[in-house]
Structure 1
Amino acid sequence: MKKIGFLSFGHWSPSPQSGTRSAQDTLLQSIDLAVAAEELGADGAYFRVHHFARQLASPFPLLAAIGARTTKIEIGTGVIDMRYENPLYMAEDAGAADLISRGRLQLGISRGSPEQVIEGWRYFGYQPEEGQSDADMGRRHAEVFLDVLKGEGFAKPNPRPMFPNPPGLLRLEPHSEGLRERIWWGSGSNATAVWAAQQGMNLQSSTLKDDETGEAFHVQQAKQIRAYREAWKDAGHSRTPRVSVSRSIFAIVNDMDRAYFGQSKDQDSIGFIDENTRAIFGRSYAAEPDRLIEELKRDEAIAEADTLLLTVPNQLGVAYNAHVIEAILTHVAPALGWR
């Protein structure tokens, strides 16, 4: 059995060919798609966060709105770039959104990926400490965020406060119990997957990672997951961690599917996400259900994961994306034992 959700980048474009032509369209359609996915029986609605781009950016208003409109589906991110975040303010926003959703938040965070502008985090008021990189800064912000989510008091109270305080040091409010165990780290390498395990975070592995061995993407990703689980065991955590992988998967069941995805590439590709990092990008899957089932059986990383996030082409509109999700849930997942 696997949890199956969708992951949306929330793209929008004023182009007449786009079904999502403004930021408002993206936000409102994201809410509607989450509602539709819950009705179809999907397990999760996840959203990417990109700054300075015509995509979804600040996630918490959206997550809170979805939490108020739904009752069962998990609501998450994949991922929030921690280089841009004030971890204390973020903890307050996350606590509020989690309480509104009654404990359904699943927050994916990370050091981030190359962005639309040069060192965009500087415009948000952040810069690495002397001798550290922006990746170090992102991990430091993450550690502070994880610490305050524990709900322990750390701030000295004012002896003459406006309102009465509880005894002892004060914590951030609102605090949502259990949210600390529902934080995921988006990892692009084996080393950061091990670090995530040591920190007690769940693991998100996307459709790209550092090309560390030259093997097929799904093989490298499966090894990353195994390294993570071994590090989790070594760290002595008491709970069982969760692991998600993302995939572009389209079951071709009608002519519209064939027109959109009949020519999708079916092999991994190699590229560079910055000057020094060679990355491998996982293939897309698009085929009639019977063939799709056989191809997915050979994906080692999907087999290792407990959660699968289906990347959706959000600019094709809510109705079509609901169809994409339903086709996987109906025609593919049962045959693979995911449902």
Structure 2
Amino acid sequence: MKKIGFLSFGHWANHPAYSTRTASDTLLQSIDLAVAAEELGLDGAYFRVHHFAAQLASPFPLLSAIGAKTSKIEIGTGVIDMRYENPLYMVEDAGAADLISGGRLQLGISRGSPEQVIDGWRYFGYEPAEGETDADMGRRKALEFLDKLNGVGFAQPNPNPMFPNPPGLLRVEPYAQGLRERIWWGAGTNATAVWAAENGMYLQSSTLKMDESGKPFHVQQAEQIRQYKEAWKKAGHQREPRVSVSRSIFALVSEQDFYYFGKDGNKGDQIGMIEPGKRAIFGRSYAAEPGKLVAQLAQDEAIQEADTILLTIPNTLGVAYNVHILEAILKHIAPGLGWR
């Protein structure tokens, strides 16, 4: 059994083939898709966060709206770039979204990746401390966020406050009990996956990671997951770890499916440079008729290691077609692989 969710990048553009022409289209359709996904029996609705782009960027209003419109589905991100964040304000936003959803938030965070503009976090008012890289800054902010999610008071109260204070130091509000245990780290390397385990975060591993061995993507990702699980066990956490992997998977069951994705099924892993001197490997997409697709996915080692599958969706094709994509996976693929 595996949890199955969708992951949307939330693109929009004034393009005649797009159902999402504006930011409003994307936000409202994201809510509708999450509601429909819950009705289908999907387990999660997850959203990517990109700044300075015609894509979803500020997740908490969207997550809160979905939380108010649904009752069961997990709601999350994959991932929030911590280089851009104020950890304390983020604790407040995340706490509110989690309370609105009844404790269903599954928040994916990370140190971030190359963005649309050079050092975009500087425009948000953030600079690495002396001796820090921007990646160090992202991890430092992540640890502060985790610490403040514990709900322990740290701020000295005003002796003459506008409203009465409880005794002792104050925490930021609202406090969402249990949210600290539902934070995921998007790891691009084996070392950061181990770091996530040591700090009690679940693991999100996407369709991209640093090429650390030259092996096929799914093999490298499976190795990353196994190292994460071993580090989690060694750290002595009292709860079970969770691991998600994201995949582009399309069951070709209609003429429209073949038109959109019929040429994608034979594409393999790709190698690229996401930063100067940093070689990355990008996992393949899967697109085939159901029987063939089940056979291909059964060979994916990383999927076998994960408990959660996030299906990346083409949100620009509209709610109805994306519901069709998700329904096809649940009906034709999940049973054959033992996911359902």
Partner of 1:296: 297
Task: Provide the rounded CA distance (Å) in 1 between the counterparts of 2:168 and 2:131.
Answer: 36
Task: Provide the rounded CA distance (Å) in 2 between the counterparts of 1:157 and 1:236.
Answer: 35
Map 1:15-54 onto structure 2 (within 5 A): 15-54=15-54
What whole-Å deviation, never above 9, does each CA across 1:132-178 have from its counterpart, x for those lacking one?
A: 10000000000000000000011111111111111111111000000
Partner of 1:278: 279
Alpha-carbon distance, 1:81 to partner: 0.2
Secondary structure in structure 2 of the residue aligned to 1:240: coil
Task: Provide the rounded CA distance (Å) in 2 between the counterparts of 1:275 and 1:324.
Answer: 36
What whole-Å deviation, never above 9, does each CA across 1:167-212 have from its counterpart, x for those lacking one?
A: 1111110000000000000000000000000110000000010000
What whole-Å deviation, never above 9, does each CA across 1:261-310 have from its counterpart, x for those lacking one?
A: 00004310000111021000000000000000000000000000000000
Secondary structure in structure 1 of the residue aligned to 2:46: strand
- Over 4 Å off, 4+ runs: none
Secondary structure in structure 2 of the residue aligned to 1:177: coil
Task: Provide the rounded CA distance (Å) in 2 between the counterparts of 1:111 and 1:235.
Answer: 22
Secondary structure in structure 1 of the residue aligned to 2:123: helix
Task: Provide the rounded CA distance (Å) in 1 between the counterparts of 2:24 and 2:284.
Answer: 31
Secondary structure in structure 2 of the residue aligned to 1:129: coil
Per the normalisation by structure 1, the TM-score is 0.99
CA RMSD of aligned residues (A): 0.5
Which runs of 5 or more structure 1 residues have no equivalent in the other structure? none
Partner of 1:314: 315
What whole-Å deviation, never above 9, does each CA across 1:225-258 have from its counterpart, x for those lacking one?
A: 0000111111111111100000000000010000
- Quick check: 1:326 aligned with 2:310? no
Secondary structure in structure 2 of the residue aligned to 1:160: coil
The AA in structure 2 aligned to 1:241 is P
- Quick check: 1:78 aligned with 2:78? yes
Partner of 1:93: 93
Task: Provide the rounded CA distance (Å) in 1 between the counterparts of 2:138 and 2:24.
Answer: 29
State the number of aligned residues: 339
Partner of 2:225: 225
Task: Provide the rounded CA distance (Å) in 1 between the counterparts of 2:257 and 2:41.
Answer: 21
Which runs of 5 or more structure 2 residues have no equivalent in the other structure? none
The AA in structure 2 aligned to 1:152 is V
What whole-Å deviation, never above 9, does each CA across 1:98-157 have from its counterpart, x for those lacking one?
A: 000000000000000100000000000001011110000000000000000000011111
Task: Provide the rounded CA distance (Å) in 2 between the counterparts of 1:144 and 1:325.
Answer: 37
Map 1:1-339 onto structure 2 (within 5 A): 1-264=1-264, 265-339=266-340
Task: Provide the rounded CA distance (Å) in 1 between the counterparts of 2:69 and 2:277.
Answer: 44
Q: Percent identity?
A: 76
Task: Provide the rounded CA distance (Å) in 2 between the counterparts of 1:95 and 1:311.
Answer: 26
Task: Provide the rounded CA distance (Å) in 1 between the counterparts of 2:304 and 2:155.
Answer: 45
